[in-house]
Amino acid sequence: MEISNLRKLILMLLFLSSFQLCKAFGGVVNPLAKLRFDGKNGEFRILQVADMHYGDGKTTPCEDVLPKQMSSCSDLNTTDFIFRMIHAEKPHLIVFTGDNIFGSDATDPVNSMDAAFAPAISSNIPWAAVLGNHDQESTLSREGVMKHIIGMKSTLSQLNPPDVPDIDGFGNYNLEVHGTEGSELTNKSVLNLYFLDSGDYSTVPSIPGYGWIKPSQQFWFQRTSRKLKKTYLHDSNARKAPAPGLAYFHIPLPEYASFDSSNFTGVRQEGISSASINSGFFTTMVESGDVKAAFAGHDHINDFCGKLMDINLCYAGGFGYHAYGKAGWSRRARMVVASLEKTGKGGWGDVKSIKTWKRLDDEHLTTIDTQVLWSKRSAGARRKKPIGHH
Ligand SMILES: *[C@@H]1O[C@H](CO)[C@@H](O)[C@H](O)[C@H]1NC(C)=O
Ligand SMILES: *[C@@H]1O[C@H](CO)[C@@H](O)[C@H](O)[C@H]1NC(C)=O
Ligand SMILES: *[C@@H]1O[C@H](CO)[C@@H](O)[C@H](O)[C@H]1NC(C)=O
């Protein structure tokens, strides 16, 4: 065979095999595909699942359910709840905010993770996970747990940003959500999602208690936020204001203690179990200016959102049945829906509002505490207010 023909044949074979690969992935989420807003209604829907505390599945009993519920309750109820939420809310992304497995009751952490994330995978929904303080308490280290997660189907989770080799923790990354297909923002990230590892426990002898978001992670966040703002405000189809951002991590920041029932929506039924020192991530977010809300788990029977300095600090409330809770107080999940502005030409522009609510795992998946976290109009109005001189 002539060389040129051989070349053609090889190219053809390569083409065919990539075609086969595409077909093999047909119907399955391509992890390289971009997240983008839905062109039909201009929405992007995020389901937050906090503290599944998954153990061994059907042999792992529930905690804090009513005595009459005990005998029929296991991890499988947690699985069932995820499926019900997916069916009811049709999320575009599921975020698992840590304590996904309860390490000390997971005989094989790989099996536990496979079971815990299975509903997202079998529903072909892209998902992202961060670590809590219990995920590494079986036979895998935090690095090992995160390495397993990033290899799972349909996940967009990442081990760490590739250009920051010395960052603290595992599972620090960001995701871009692009404008609708075919719109002028189709190549731009109109909603930025940040995921951070808030650690497990302090390793500094003089500091007791839980872990915190370290300076190396904050530098990465700051740089990423700055880069995203620059692209949004300057490159092609430049916009006037930065795209809104949302941050997800496990352990609440000390600033979650800034509220009482007069200024939050939801409930606080236990203390705020943040780190015992303040590492400054809240300040870093305020300075960056793009993050409109942060979402934590960790304290299962707190489920409020409160606004401090234009940033909403939210809990999801506990989701998992093998996690402590309060008998008779339903397990729950938090939804966030970002909506795009309609443009004059009948297309979609940038994000107009971000709303949230919770769903209870009761008979009708009751929706509670619907609230607007951010809207473009009120942000614009506030910016125009003159600043007084003192
Ligand atoms: C757990 O699931 C079982 C089987 O579907 C069901 O009968 C039971 O009511 C559920 N328990 C709770 C607390 O939801
Ligand atoms: C988006 O990127 C694609 C591929 O680079 C390009 O063909 C298209 O014109 C771009 N669309 C817009 C609106 O910038
Ligand atoms: C919430 O209200 C309490 C007083 O009831 C006040 O001490 C606190 O500073 C308020 N928090 C915020 C963030 O406004």
Q: Helices 109-122 and 75-89 sit at what angle, rounded to 10 degrees?
A: 20
- The residue whose CA is least distant from atom 2 of ligand 2 is 187
Residues whose CB falls within 8 Å of the CB of residue 279, separated by 6 or more in sequence, listed in order: 212, 213, 214, 215, 218
How many domains is the chain partitioned into structurally? 1
pLDDT tens-digit readout, 251-291: 999 999 999 999 999 999 999 999 999 999 999 999 999 99
21 occurs within a structural domain:
no
pLDDT truncated to tens, each residue of the chain (390 aa)?
444 454 544 444 444 444 334 333 333 444 446 899 999 999 999 999 999 999 999 999 999 999 999 999 999 999 999 999 999 999 999 999 999 999 999 999 999 999 999 999 999 999 999 999 999 999 999 999 999 999 999 999 999 999 998 999 999 999 999 999 999 999 999 999 999 999 999 999 999 999 999 999 999 999 999 999 999 999 888 999 999 999 999 999 999 999 999 999 999 999 999 999 999 999 999 999 999 999 999 999 999 999 999 999 999 999 999 999 999 999 999 999 999 999 988 899 999 999 999 999 999 999 999 999 999 987 755 554 555 555
List all residues whose CB is within 6 A of at least one atom of ligand 3: 258-260, 262-263, 308
Q: Which atom of ligand 2 is nearest to the CA of 183?
A: 13
- Structural contact between residues 42 and 163, judged by C-beta atoms closer than 8 angstroms: no
The answer to whether the predicted template modeling score (pTM) of the entire model surpasses 0.95 is no
| Domain-embedded: residue 168 | yes
Ligand 1 contacts CB of residue 72 (under 6 A): yes
Question: CA-CA distance, 63 to 82, in Å (whole number)?
Answer: 18
Q: Which ligand is nearest to the CA of 183?
A: 2
Residue 74 in contact with ligand 1 by CB distance below 6 A: no
pLDDT at 33: 66
42 CA from centroid of ligand 3 (Å): 35
Report the C-alpha gap between 158 and 310 in whole angstroms: 29
Distance from Cα 356 to the centre of ligand 1, integer Å: 27
Pocket test for ligand 2, best of 34, 186, 231 (most atoms within 8 A of CB): 186
24 part of a folded domain: no
Give the range of the structural domain holding residue 137, as residue numbers without chain letter: 31-382
Does residue 19 lie within any of the structural domains?
no
Task: Find the 186 Cα to ligand 2 centroid distance in Å.
Answer: 7
Residue 5 within a domain: no
**Would residue 223 count as lying in a domain?**
yes
Question: Rounded distance, CA 64 to CA 62, Å?
Answer: 7
**Residue 235: per-residue pLDDT:** 81
Distance 235 CA to ligand 2 centre (A): 12
The residue to mutate among 74, 77, 81, 85, having the most atoms of ligand 1 within 8 angstroms of its beta carbon, is 77
CATH code for the domain of 184? 3.60.21.10
Atom of ligand 2 nearest to the CA of 237: 14
- Burial of 147 per CB tally in 10 Å (0-12, 13-18, 19+): middle
d(CA 252, CA 308): 14
In short, whether 360's Cβ falls inside 6 Å of ligand 1 is no
List pLDDT tens digits, range 177-212: 999 999 999 999 999 999 999 999 999 999 999 999
Which residues are near ligand 2 (CB < 6 Å)?
Answer: 184, 186-187, 236
Residue 16 counted as domain residue: no
Spatial contact of 252 and 272, defined as CB atoms under 8 Å apart: yes
Return the structure tokens found at 210.
């839980």
How far, in Å, CA of 245 to CA of 122, rounded? 28
pLDDT recorded at residue 388: 54
Looking at all shown ligands, the one closest to residue 76's CA atom is 1
Distance (angstroms) between ligand 2 centre and the Cα of 184 equals: 8
| 337, part of any domain | yes
Nearby residues of 3 by Cβ (< 8 Å), 6 or more positions away: none
Query: What's the pLDDT at 381?
Result: 54
pLDDT value for 2: 44
